[in-house]
Amino acid sequence: MTSFIKAAAFAAATLTALPAMADIDPVTLRLAHVVNEQDAYHTAAVKFQELVSERSDGAITVEIFPNATLGDERTLLEGMQIGTVDMGVITNGPVANFLEDIAVFELPFLFPSPEAAYNVLDGEIGQELLGRLEEVNLKGLAYAERGFRNLTNSKRPVNSPADLDGLRIRVMENPVYIDSFRELGADAIPMAWTEALTGMQQNTIDGQENPVGVVYSFKLNETQTNMTMTRHTYAPAIFVMGMPKWNQLSEETQDIIAAAAQEAAEYERALNAELEEEQLAALKEAGMNVVEDADLAAFSAAVQPVYEKYGEKFGDYLPRIQEALK
């Protein structure tokens, strides 16, 4: 049984185990995200939609707004805070603009595997941070994922930090990412994604870093001949709702929504893993050189100054996570 099928079976079993709730007041939820209908975020949203409809006998209706129809991720979160948007699937980075400590999850080489990340996210630390979103008028429900980010470039295979010397690598406009790649020896160039796509085509930059799904869907192999499976940063995504909407719901409805969000998140994680395997195989078949045995210990050692610079910024969360990973 594949991990995807296992997750689907788990979701069905969990849903069945919940007590019957026949008298749910009808409610319509507007769920927004910023990607297209082929993205895993949309898959998670649709699974959530199906689960809450089934469990509430159709009383809970979810309307999905993809493609940034209701605004970018920061705008969506601000809308949730004031009640003009009900909920969404939002990348962890923008959520950290509202609760800074949640950015701790994106420190480089923090998580050695998806399972390690899930244990922390679904455990005491992750749930504590979800709960703290109420401090900023948001209700954290569950962690889905964007996934592990990897390095691509058009110049040469990268097996160690020394191979990054002088490479012009586009990074997100985020100080942790910028400092991480500068410590690795790259010429880290922060820029918007649309600019990066043009830059790769015109050879004004040599590479970028993103999950396999982004490399595949944007056909980056056409300009990026090499990919190194650095898995340097794990990026969660969050099912989140505005507290104004959450507080309007009955306890029974809240229970259904919370359980369905967790199940949909786990479903999306499993699907993401299977899609990555298929997409990686397709990229290799298309001729992309994929380095799967890079010296990750050397990469991790090189970014330790980033931990010294940012570690204390997150209070005791970093040492708690590091202890939990032992």
Q: Among 119-123, 127-131, 133-137, 217-221, whose mean pLDDT is lowest?
A: 217-221
Give the pLDDT score at 291. 98
User: Has residue 278 got a pLDDT over 90?
Assistant: yes
Give the pLDDT score at 107. 93
User: Has residue 5 got a pLDDT over 60?
Assistant: no
Q: Which residue did the predictor score with more confidence, 197 or 137?
A: 137
Give the pLDDT score at 186. 97
Give the single-character DSSP code of 25: P
Give the pLDDT score at 223. 96
Over range 287-307, report the average pLDDT.
Answer: 96
Span 56-104, pLDDT tens digits: 999 999 999 998 899 888 899 999 999 999 999 998 888 988 998 998 9
Give the single-character DSSP code of 19: P
Bridge pairing between strands 87-91 and 27-32: parallel
User: Has residue 303 got a pLDDT over 50?
Assistant: yes
Under a CB-based contact definition with an 8 Å cutoff, are residues 102 and 78 in contact? no
Closest by CA to 215, choosing from 163, 130, 155, 275, is 275
Give the pLDDT score at 93. 81
User: Has residue 237 got a pLDDT over 50?
Assistant: yes
- Give Dmax (Cα) for the chain: 64
State what percent of residues in the chain have pLDDT above 70.
93
User: Has residue 253 got a pLDDT over 70?
Assistant: yes
pTM exceeding the 0.75 threshold for the entire prediction? yes
User: Has residue 4 got a pLDDT over 90?
Assistant: no
Closest by CA to 261, choosing from 150, 133, 136, 97, is 133
Give the pLDDT score at 45. 97
DSSP-derived 3-state class of residue 14? helix
Return d(Cα 219, Cα 152) in angstroms, integer: 12
User: Has residue 8 got a pLDDT over 60?
Assistant: no
Give the pLDDT score at 34. 86
User: Has residue 19 got a pLDDT over 80?
Assistant: no
Phi-psi region of 304 (alpha: psi -120 to 50; beta: other; left: phi over 0): alpha
> DSSP letter string over 236-294?
EEEEEEEHHHHTTS-HHHHHHHHHHHHHHHHHHHHHHHHHHHHHHHHHHHTT-EEE-S-
Residue 250 pLDDT level (bands cut at 50, 70, 90): very high
- Which domains are seen in the chain, by residue range? 3-101+112-145+236-274 (3.40.190.170), 150-232+279-324 (3.40.190.170)
